[in-house]
Amino acid sequence: MNTCKATLRVLLAHRLYIFIYLVLIGIMMFSISGAQLFGSRDEGGSDTYAPGRPTVAVIDRDANRGRIAQEMREYLADSSDLVDLQDDPRTLQQAVASNWVDLIVIIPDGYAEGLIASASSAGADSADSAAGGADSAGSDASHDGAPTVETVTSYTSGVGAMASMDVSGFLGMTRTALIGGNVAVTDGDWAAKYGDADTTAAAPDGIAPTDAAQKGTGTQTQTGTTPDQSTLDMLPNGRLDNLTLDDLADAAKRVRAIAADGNANHAIAVDRSDQASTQAAAGSSAAAANASTDADTAVSGFGSTMKTALYPLFLAMTVCTALVLSVFNAGETRRRLAASPQRFSLMGIQRLATIGVFALIVTVGYLLATLGLMLVAGADVAALPPSGIAMTVIAAFVYALMTVACGFLLGECSSSDTMANGFANLFGLLIMFTSGMWLPVDMMPGFMTVIGRMLPGWWYCTAVDQALGIGTAAHDGVSVAGWAGSVGLVALFAAAFLCIGLAVGRIRRSRPSAVSQAVTQLAE
């Protein structure tokens, strides 16, 4: 009992190391795991993709002719944050240089008139212009002499380039709607293509000339279906006559209305359905899928957080064990202990047992902190399998005993504080980066996996994976045999460190060093 109390007093005397290595570094590792847990919760909370919102400024030098500037601002308002800038060179240059905005759009003077002129001279036939749909923004704005707007994109973010694509898309679709909504095919056009024949009989698939002559968004058959390309090639050329700014304003308004229509433009969402779930009822299948996803997230988060105990446990237990044993192995202290009636080996076992109990307490505390972090992050703790938790805790405790054995080896080598701290930090970092805890195994170079398999950290992380069926065991699931083998290898590392420490201690004690003063002083 006195040995245990003395061991605890020595541990408390080195509480600064416990605070730094166990508490502070433990908080750091918990912060990393917490970020992953909160990130998983946020990703699972919404299946809708929400892109970043760029800051856009629209400079109108065309006096809002054809309502282009107004409709463009309303079109961009749903996906961008609009700001106002003065149209003077100094302000625009400062906005670009200081990165005030992600995109500046400058509508030049005469843009609306140029867009109408390019549409009038396009020469597209009625079928192509009516049923061809919205061309790509870049090609539609750059062909047939269509005018362009000037854009200045931020150099620090990609959202400005995405907003520039939205601007080009709006202008391209406006030009397409202007052509498709105002094209006309008259009886004279039918006569010019088919001669004096009956135009109704010459119309392919029962399309009447009056149907083709109507203004609208597409030439439709009598059954309401869009003709195929071969049918469109049989139609006469249409014409665009007397386009006005009001026609351009109507086209821009239609484009903005279609873009704002949620039924026509659905939000990007994640489809979690599969063939098996579609055969069941919609409500029950969705609930089961969500429950399964929550359970997988909880198990994965628990295993990842318990793996992070690898580094702080090794630092704290190795350094504390080495320092405690170095105090008891000091020359005068060791002589007094050897002269006591109690066996020296029994006192050594008591010291190791006390440190082992401390390691168990630390492991249980890390487990409770992990569960508390999961509750704060909103993870489903009830979904964790009890057997998986038990096997994970056993693996962590065996790993903690391995760190005690490593500290015992350092203590038997009579290592100083500097040596113990240096070894623990260097070897701990090597274990952490080669264990698969910090980087996924499939992303690690080959030589790192080879080194990792020769260290205990790899097998501790593998034991956690086998206990919970995650990580390297995700395809095979929970494997008790694999877990037992990995834990056994960690225990073999502990036994190896312990045996080497005993051998070093026996050699050191068989060759005792002098503990008296190097110089003898004569007493008068």
Residue 259: the pLDDT is 80
Q: Looking at the structure, do residues 140 and 244 belong to the same domain, yes or no?
A: yes
Per-residue pLDDT averaged across 458-479, rounded?
88
H runs (alpha helix) in 216-309: 229-233, 245-260, 275-279, 282-307
Tell me the Ramachandran region of residue 282: left when phi exceeds 0, alpha when psi lies from -120 to 50, beta otherwise. Answer: alpha
Q: Quick one: pLDDT band at residue 516, thresholds 50, 70, 90?
A: very low
pLDDT in tens, 59-85: 999 989 888 989 999 988 888 889 888
What's residue 416's pLDDT? 81
427 vs 349: which has the higher pLDDT: 427
Distance of CA 3 to CAs 8, 13, 168, 487, Å? Answer: 9, 15, 80, 30
Q: In terms of DSSP bridges, do strands 103-107 and 150-153 run parallel, antiparallel, or are they unpaired?
A: antiparallel
Name the pairing type of β-strands 81-83 and 103-107: unpaired
Average pLDDT over residues 327-341: 61
With respect to residue 317, please indicate whether it lies within any of the assigned structural domains.
yes
**Domain presence at residue 519:** no
Contact in structure between 381 and 299 (CB atoms under 8 Å): no
Give yes or no: residues 118 and 247 share one domain: yes
Same domain, 65 and 176: yes
Q: Which of 432, 493, 423, 410 is nearest to 308 (CA)?
A: 432
pLDDT recorded at residue 397: 94
pLDDT number for residue 456: 93
Domain for residue 434, yes or no? yes
Q: Is the pLDDT assigned to residue 319 strictly greater than 80?
A: yes
User: 57: part of which helix (H) or strand (E)?
Assistant: strand 55-60
Q: 147 with 236: CB under 8 angstroms?
A: no
Q: Is residue 307 part of a domain?
A: yes
Nearest partner of 310 among 435, 193, 491, 199, judged by Cα:
435
pLDDT confidence bin for 136, thresholds 50/70/90: very low
Residues 401, 502, single domain; the answer is yes
Does residue 464 belong to any structural domain of this protein? yes
Per-residue pLDDT at 278 exceeds 70: no
**Does the pLDDT at position 483 exceed 90?**
yes
Sign of the CA dihedral 5, 10, 13, 17? Answer: negative
Do 294 and 381 have their domain in common? yes
DSSP secondary structure code for residue 18 in this structure: I
438 with 321, same domain: the answer is yes
Residues 119 and 249 in one domain: yes
Mean pLDDT on 133-142:
38
366 or 199, higher pLDDT:
366
Q: Are residues 36 and 146 in the same domain?
A: no
Report how many helices (DSSP H) and strands (DSSP E) the chain contains, helices first: 24, 4
Sheet of strand 81-83, all strands in order from the earlier edge strand to the far edge: 81-83, 55-60, 103-107, 150-153
- Can you give the residue range of the structural domain that contains 176? 55-184+238-260
Q: How confident is the model at residue 212 (pLDDT cuts 50, 70, 90)?
A: very low
Residue where the block lists tokens 């959202």: 159
Question: Does any domain span residue 369?
Answer: yes
Q: At what angle do helices 111-120 and 68-77 cross, to 10 degrees?
A: 100
Give the total number of structural domains in the chain: 2
Q: Are residues 6 and 95 in the same domain?
A: no
Report which of 167, 121, 141, 149 is spatially closest to residue 62, judged by C-alpha positions. 149
Q: Which residues contact 127 (CB under 8 A, 6 or more apart)?
A: 212, 219, 227, 231, 232, 233, 235, 238
CB atoms within 10 A of CB 407: 31
101 with 17, same domain? no
Name the pLDDT band for 222 (thresholds 50, 70, 90): very low
pLDDT at 464: 92
Query: What Rg value do the Cα atoms of the chain yield, rounded?
Result: 38
Distance CA 370, CA 63 (A): 62
- Give the helix/strand (H/E) hosting 337: helix 331-339
Query: Which has more confidence, 228 or 325?
Result: 325
Q: Average of pLDDT values for 24-51?
A: 71
Q: Is residue 167 part of a domain?
A: yes
Map residue 145 onto helix, strand or coil.
Answer: coil
What is the rounded average pLDDT of the residues 188-217? Answer: 53
Among residues 137, 226, 231, which one has the least CA distance to residue 175? Answer: 137
Place of tokens 């502990």: 494
Instruction: Mark whether 300 and 426 lie in a shared domain.
Output: yes
Is the residue at 411 inside a domain? yes
Highest mean pLDDT among 98-107, 205-214, 331-340: 98-107
DSSP state letter for 87: S
What pLDDT score does 513 carry? 56
pLDDT tens, residue by residue, 375-417: 888 888 888 899 999 999 999 999 999 999 998 898 888 778 8
The pLDDT value given to residue 127: 38
519: how many CB neighbours lie within 10 A of its CB?
5
pLDDT, average across residues 511-517: 53
Q: Which residue has the higher pLDDT, 48 or 25?
A: 25
- Please report, rounded to a whole number, the percentage of residues in the chain having pLDDT higher than 70: 69
Of 4, 1, 88, 8, which Cα lies nearest the Cα of 320? 8
Q: Which two tokens stand for residue 19?
A: 């605070």
If asked whether residues 309 and 421 sit together in one domain, one would say: yes
**Residue 247 backbone phi and psi in degrees, to 5:** -60, -40
pLDDT of 253 over the 80 cut? yes
End-to-end Cα distance, the chain: 44
| CA–CA dist 216, 238 (Å, integer) | 13
Q: How far is CA 434 from the centre of its chain?
A: 22
- Residues 205-215: b if buried by 16+ CB within 10 A, e if exposed: eebebeebbee
| Count of C-beta atoms within a 10 Å radius of residue 313 | 28
Q: How confident is the model at residue 329 (pLDDT cuts 50, 70, 90)?
A: low
Average pLDDT, the chain: 76
78 close to 125: Cβ distance less than 8 angstroms: no
